[in-house]
Amino acid sequence: MRKTFDFFKPATAQEALRLFNRYKGAASFLAGGTDLVAKMRSGTARPKALIDIKAIGQLSGVRKTRTRVTIGPLTTLTEISRSKILKTLLPVLPKTALLMASPQVRNRGTVGGNLCNAAPSADMAPPLIVLGAKARFLTRQGTRTVRLEDFFTGPGQTLVTGKGLLSAIVVPVPGPRVKAAYQVLTLREAMDLSVVSAAAMVRKERGIIREARIALGAVAPVPMRAPEAEAALVGTRGKDEDIEKAALCASAECVPITDVRGSREYRREMVSVVVRRVLEEVRN
């Protein structure tokens, strides 16, 4: 760990960005610190300055309008798991938060930190992607909003890495016939990162799947959509054979690596299992 670093605790996002820019990419924003502090201790992150964003009220909490839900990046995983708005409109998100880490880590760790840390296994990413979430962020160039799947640029890298501040996650309110779910495969029952994860969203009309989104975690450099699997489902009734076909497409589309949690071959095989399970959950 770097022995000394500058420390700031600004009250506004604009002030945070101004301080950040002063360090020309060598500063880090500090949210809950559950990823960043561990990296600083191990020496994999050595920021010259920490800009603690926890005092910036505008970055916290969950708000809704008639058409969309806006989640502040500083909203903790515990707050996500308890939010009445999310439980009512986007229940897959509270369920996902409860799968993650431990109560202590969930009390500190934030949804924005999970996305900006950009681990390929980041659990919040696949369910947000299938819900059609967008990431809004501030850089020197101004404010930008992109589809969440386009926010990730590589392992540990996003459009804000070294450049700016994630300021909101914006999710459209789904229609009444939309179902979404998230499933993970882990080596242990609790407190473990995913070997494979998959989220799915399906919109059915008169028994036919009209829209489908599938997102995979931990099987590519970034959380990824599985467009061939999605296309295989649209226009079907979501019967066992339709789901099997989509699951095999997803397995062919992913690009996993071998690491301590599993081999490339095992991950590819398990993608079809996890995608099948998650589609069985959303098809009715």
Tell the smallest beta-carbon distance from residue 163 to ligand FAD (Å). 9
Between 36 and 219, CB nearer to ligand FAD? 36
H helices present in the chain, as ranges = 13-22, 36-42, 77-82, 84-89, 92-99, 103-108, 111-117, 125-130, 148-151, 227-233, 240-253, 264-282
Sketch the per residue contact string, 168 through 207, with ligand FAD: x for CB under 6 A, - otherwise: -----------------------x-x--------------
Q: Give the binding range for ligand FAD (CB under 6 A) out of 29-37, 126-134, 244-252, 260-268.
A: 29-37
> Is 166 near ligand FAD (CB under 6 A)?
yes
The residue type of 253 is: E
Strands 49-52, 6-8: pairing is parallel
Does residue 109 bind ligand FAD (CB under 6 A)?
yes
Closest among 251, 249, 221 to 121, alpha carbons compared: 221
> Cα–Cα distances in Å, from 88 out to 81, 91, 173?
12, 6, 10
Which residue lies nearest ligand FAD, judged by its C-beta? 113
Task: Record the tokens describing residue 181, joined without a space.
Answer: 């779910």
**63-82: contacts with ligand FAD (CB under 6 A):** 73, 77
Of the two residues 52 and 281, which places its CB atom closer to ligand FAD in the complex? 52
**Cβ nearer to ligand FAD, comparing 153 with 236:** 153
Q: Is 83 in the site for ligand FAD (CB under 6 A)?
A: no
Q: Which of 69, 97, 116, 133 binds ligand FAD (CB under 6 A)?
A: 116
Rounded-to-integer distance, Cα 100 and Cα 102, Å:
7
Q: Is 117 in the site for ligand FAD (CB under 6 A)?
A: yes
- Is residue 11 within 8 Å of 55, Cβ to Cβ? yes
Min dist. Cβ of residue 2 to ligand FAD (A): 14
Q: Which of these, 131, 98, 269, 105, lies nearest to 196 by C-alpha position?
A: 269
Q: Which residues bind ligand FAD (CB under 6 A)?
A: 28-36, 38, 53, 73, 77, 100-101, 105, 108-110, 112-114, 116-117, 122-123, 160, 165-166, 191, 193
